[in-house]
Copies of this chain bind each other. A is one copy, B any other.
Amino acid sequence: MLHLLASHASVRKYKDEPISDETLHDLIRAAQHAATSHFVQAYSIVDVTDQDKRDKLAELSRNPVQIIGAARALVFCADLKRLDYAAKKHGKTIEAGTTENFMVSVIDTALLAQNFVIAAESKGYGICYIGGVRNNPEPISELLGLPDHVIPLFGLTLGVPDEANEVKPRLPVEAILHTNEYDEVKYEQILSEYDDVIRAYYANRSTNNKSGGWTEGMADYLSKPRRAYMMDFVKSKGFLQK
């Protein structure tokens, strides 16, 4: 099982083989057993099967190839709408707009998604998370008819793999694990060594060779402003009001 987890790599090229509704439902049912804060189950998945919608989603996410070529293209959404409905049924209203509820729904959705990924990979399927749905969250919300209190967090493509990507070396466990107190002093040495590991990985992998270590890549990537509209979008959907 640890071997399955440790062999994860995103799959962006899939065989032209369908995945049945029955299989998809089995994977989702298993995934739903992820922990959920106070049993709120604050998530929805939109399965995009319509070809026009699929094409549009691919364009809006800027992920044409994999979204169009995957057996399934799913959009995972943080969802407080169903809970709104539940409260109204009993003459109550929920405080959907708190930062706490935003965090709960985002975390709930991510736990569900990762369980789904493990379920799928254990059956031999490949997946790729599509953060690109956050490139155009407003048009994608319209495309999928998402009401207030539902926002797309990421897409996920699913299919029978037609490629086997190499596994990227992660940060050493010492870099992310702290004992009793957060320790940033250790970063200098650990990240310098990790840069060497990543440089060697990028130089030697079979495709898409590039230069530079991890810290350099992160510095380049994160110093540019990205998705600056996100707070406005999230607020417009009724989250993060207070």
Contact = CB atoms under 8 A, between A and B. Distances in A.
A145 to B, nearest CB: 4
Interface of A: 1-2, 4-8, 10, 24-35, 37-41, 43-50, 53, 77, 79, 81-83, 85-87, 89-95, 98-101, 103-104, 106-107, 110-111, 113-115, 117-119, 122-123, 128-129, 131, 134, 144-147, 150, 153-154, 167-168, 170-171, 173, 175-182, 184, 187, 191, 214-228, 230-231, 234, 240, 242
Contact of A122 (B2, B7, B38, B110): B2
Nearest to A106: B106
A33 B8 contact: yes
27 contacts: A2-B119, A5-B30, A5-B31, A6-B29, A7-B33, A8-B34, A28-B176, A35-B129, A40-B222, A41-B170, A44-B178, A47-B177, A50-B180, A82-B175, A87-B215, A87-B223, A89-B215, A92-B223, A94-B218, A95-B223, A98-B226, A98-B228, A100-B227, A101-B222, A110-B110, A110-B114, A150-B182
A37 B130 CA distance: 9
A134 B11 CA distance: 35
A79 to B, nearest CB: 8
Contact of A119 (B1, B115, B219): B1
Contact of A39 (B134, B168, B180): B168
B170 A35 contact: no
Chain B CB count within 10 A is highest, among A87, A91, A118, A218, for A218
A47 to B, nearest CB: 5
B118 A115 contact: yes
Contacts of A179: 46-47, 49
